[in-house]
Structure 1
Amino acid sequence: MATGTLFFLIVGGAGVGVLALALLGTELLQFGGADVDGPVSVETVAAFAGASGFGGAIVNELLGGRTAGMVAAAAAGGAVAAIPVAWIASRLSRAARNMRTDPTPTRDDLVGALGLVVTPVPVGGYGEVRVRLAGHPVKLNARADRAIPVGAQVFVVQALSDTSVHVETY
């Protein structure tokens, strides 16, 4: 293996490592705020470096890069190969950052939810109910004006806190 090929492989490996960290959400090389990447994102630069390194290594081996001219040609070939890869990484990272998501449920969303008593609710004390919140089962502490047995269907009248509710039978 030529020395130039080893250099290109190291550059490609470093680029892929930085790309993996950037795509996994690591705030690498971000000084200031979360959106302060400059005109080109870290993901784009990392993808370009990785693809140009590996592309350069392939071209260098195909050319038998023993001279400085052949290594320069391999670097140019790697850069040509890296342009579409960097563009794709830029588009994917932008799509991931700008993805629409549902709002986070709050305790106000509990009011009106239907549920099932899993631990009896005594008068003046707490039992437990299981309700569905945003499609997910949530187990909450529950109070009621009268005792409610296990298995009874209830609905939430009031959210007392983030983890406790006031319920009535359904």
Structure 2
Amino acid sequence: MQVVATGTLIFLIIGGAGVAVMALALLGTELLHLGHLDVDGPVSVEAVAGFLGAFGFGAAIVNELLGGRTPGMVAAAVAGGAVAAVPAAWLASRLGRAARDMPTDPTPTRDHLVGALGLVVTPVPATGYGEVRVRVAGQPVKLNARADHPIPVGAQIFVVQALSETSVHVETY
């Protein structure tokens, strides 16, 4: 059984810390937030995590390959870890920025319900509410529905007014 060098163990712990920081960054925490509070600042959490992870694991690999038992070999392992860490930090920073700045569609609101076509899933009585299923932004949504006259199950409907975020006024289509 081979014993792991102390330097390798320390480098593996540093790499593990980088993985832990990246996991926290993916969960949206503001750990190690450097710079102005409203922006990432000069160093993003993703860059720190990428640097730590690549440095620790890269240095551990180099240390084991060299058999890092002397200070010179450990220094070479540190240099090898740094060579791996700089591009990894740059790439993590770029990918994090690309994910944050990705354009997305606006969140649908009740105004997006007006004009939607759908089907009655629970009969809509003349007084009271039934249920309809419509598509909003490509997603099926089930809503409470009122109408001026009774509408049976399976009838196609058209939303004429959004009474709230979960209820609409409909007419047959």
- Normalised to the residue count of structure 2, the TM-score between the two structures is 0.92
* Offset at residue 105 of structure 1 (A): 0.5
31 and 77 in structure 1: CA distance in 2 versus 1, 3 angstrom threshold? closer
Q: 1:37-86 CA deviation, whole Å, 9 max, x = no partner?
A: 32010110111111111111111112211111221111111101111111
Does residue 24 of the first structure (1) align with residue 27 of the second (2)? yes
38 and 32 in structure 1: CA distance in 2 versus 1, 3 angstrom threshold? closer
- What are the residue-to-residue correspondences of 1:83-122 with 2, within 5 Å? 83-122=86-125
Aligned to 2:159: 156
Aligned to 1:145: 148
Does residue 169 of the first structure (1) align with residue 139 of the second (2)? no
Q: Which runs of 5+ in 2 are unaligned?
A: none
- 8 Å Cα contact 1:27/1:34 also seen in 2: no
CA distance in 2, matches of 1:8, 1:16: 13
1:26 alignment partner, SS class: coil
1:66 alignment partner, SS class: coil
Q: 1:66-123 CA deviation, whole Å, 9 max, x = no partner?
A: 1112211111111011111111111110101101111000101111111111111111
* Offset at residue 145 of structure 1 (A): 0.6
Given residue 47 of structure 1, which amino acid in structure 2 is its aligned partner? G
2:170 alignment partner, SS class: strand
- 8 Å Cα contact 2:18/2:53 also seen in 1: yes
Size of the aligned set, in residue pairs, is 170
CA distance in 2, matches of 1:160, 1:31: 46
- What are the residue-to-residue correspondences of 1:54-69 with 2, within 5 Å? 54-69=57-72
CA distance in 2, matches of 1:17, 1:97: 20
RMSD between aligned alpha carbons?
Answer: 1.6
CA distance in 2, matches of 1:32, 1:125: 56
Q: Which runs of 5+ in 1 are unaligned?
A: none
CA distance in 2, matches of 1:140, 1:118: 10
